[in-house]
C-alpha cells in the first residue's frame, strides 16, 4: 500500500510538472505573439512618422518655397519697357515721315521735270509750225528739189524725236469738239457735217503724256 501511494505521488508530481511546462510554453507563445504585434505596430508608427517628417520637410523646402512665391508674386512694372516702347514708336513715326517725304519729293521732282519739258516743247512748237508752213507752200515739183527734200527730212526727224519724248499731236478734224483739247476760233453752218464737229484746223495742238501743251485752234461746224 505504501508503495502504491508512493507511485501515485510520483505520477501526480510528473503530471503537475507536465502541466506547469505546458502552461509555461503557452505563456511563452503568448509573449512571442504579443512581441510580434508590438513590433508590427512600432514599424507602422515609424513609417507614418517618417512620411509625416518627409511631408513637413517638403513643405519647408526653401527652394520650392521661393519658386512658389515667385509664381504668386506679381511682376513689377519696369520703366525701361515704357522707354523702349516710346523709342520704338518714335523710330516708326520717323520712318513713316521720311517715307512720305521721299514720295512727296519724288512727285515734286517729277512735276518740276514735266513743267520744264513742257516749257521747252512750247518754245519748239513755233519752229514746227514754220516747217509745216514752208512745206505746205510747195507744190509736188517744189518738193522734188533737193533742198526742199532735205527740209522735209529734217521736219520728219524733228517730229520723231518729239514722239519719242512723249509729245503727240491732238486729233482735231472730223472729231467732236472738246474744250479740253480744242480752241474754237470760228463757227460755220454746214449741213454735210454733224453737230459740234471740227471741220478745219488752223494750228495743230500737242500733248505731253496726259497733259495738253497747246490746244488745237479750230473751226467748228453747226
Quote the cell numbers at residue 197: 464737229
Is 43 a domain residue?
no
Residue 220 lies in a domain: yes
User: Contact at 8 Å (CB) between 222 and 196?
Assistant: yes
Q: For residues 138 and 97, what is the distance between their CA atoms, to the nearest angstrom? A: 61
pLDDT, tens digit, for every residue of 16-28? 666 666 666 555 5
How distant, in Å, are the alpha carbons of 64, 65, 67, 73, 75 from that of 70? 10, 9, 5, 5, 9
pLDDT level of residue 3 (50, 70, 90 thresholds): very low
Three-class secondary structure assignment of the chain: CHHHHHHHHHHHHHHHHHHHHHHHHHHHHHHHHHHHHHHHHHHHHHHHHHHHHHHHHHHCCHHHHHHHHHHHCCCCCCHHHHHHHHHHHHHHHHHHHHHHHHHHHHHHHHHHHHHHHHHHHHHHHHHHHHHHHHHHCCCHHHHCCHHHHHHHHHHHHHHHHHHHHCEEECCCCCCECCCCCEEEEEEECCCCCCCCEEEEEEECCEEECCEEEECEEEEEEC
Which pairing describes strands 216-221 and 206-208: parallel, antiparallel, or unpaired? unpaired
Q: Are 168 and 175 in contact (CB under 8 A)?
A: no
For residue 79, is it within any domain? no
Extract the C-alpha cell encoding 2. 505504501
Residue 80 pLDDT class (50, 70, 90 cuts): confident
pLDDT of the residue at 96 = 94
Beta bridge partners of 187: 220
Q: What is the tens place of the pLDDT at every residue in 122-180?
A: 999 999 999 999 988 888 888 888 888 899 999 999 999 999 999 999 999 989 999 99
Total domains in the fold of the chain: 1
Full domain range(s) for residue 188: 167-222
Is residue 191 situated within a structural domain?
A: yes
> Domain holding 182: CATH number?
2.30.22.10
Name the β-bridge partners of 26.
Answer: none
**Chain center to CA of 5:** 125
d(CA 48, CA 64) in angstroms, rounded, equals 23
Residue 113 in any domain: the answer is no
Query: Is there a domain that residue 8 lies in?
Result: no
Instruction: State the Cα–Cα distance between residues 193 and 25, nearest whole angstrom.
Output: 151
Query: Taking the complete model, does pTM exceed 0.85, yes or no?
Result: no
Amino acid at each position: 500500500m505504501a508503495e502504491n501511494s508512493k507511485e501515485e505521488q510520483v505520477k501526480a508530481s510528473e503530471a503537475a510538472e507536465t502541466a506547469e511546462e505546458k502552461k509555461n510554453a503557452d505563456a511563452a507563445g503568448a509573449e512571442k505573439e504579443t512581441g510580434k504585434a508590438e513590433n508590427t505596430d512600432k514599424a507602422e508608427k515609424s513609417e507614418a512618422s517618417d512620411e509625416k517628417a518627409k511631408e513637413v520637410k517638403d513643405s519647408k523646402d526653401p527652394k520650392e518655397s521661393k519658386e512658389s512665391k515667385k509664381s504668386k508674386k506679381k511682376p513689377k512694372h519696369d520703366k525701361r519697357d515704357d522707354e523702349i516702347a516710346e523709342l520704338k514708336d518714335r523710330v516708326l513715326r520717323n520712318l513713316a515721315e521720311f517715307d512720305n517725304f521721299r514720295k512727296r519729293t519724288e512727285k515734286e521732282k517729277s512735276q518740276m521735270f514735266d513743267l520744264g519739258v513742257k516749257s521747252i516743247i512750247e518754245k519748239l512748237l513755233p519752229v514746227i509750225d514754220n516747217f509745216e508752213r514752208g512745206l505746205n507752200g510747195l507744190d509736188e515739183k517744189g518738193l522734188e528739189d533737193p533742198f526742199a527734200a532735205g527740209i522735209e527730212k529734217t521736219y520728219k526727224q524733228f517730229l520723231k524725236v518729239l514722239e519719242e519724248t512723249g509729245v503727240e499731236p491732238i486729233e482735231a478734224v472730223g472729231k467732236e469738239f472738246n474744250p479740253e483739247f480744242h480752241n474754237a476760233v470760228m463757227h460755220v453752218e454746214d449741213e454735210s457735217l454733224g453737230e459740234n464737229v471740227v471741220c478745219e484746223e488752223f494750228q495743230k495742238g500737242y500733248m505731253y503724256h496726259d497733259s495738253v501743251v497747246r490746244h488745237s485752234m479750230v473751226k467748228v461746224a453747226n
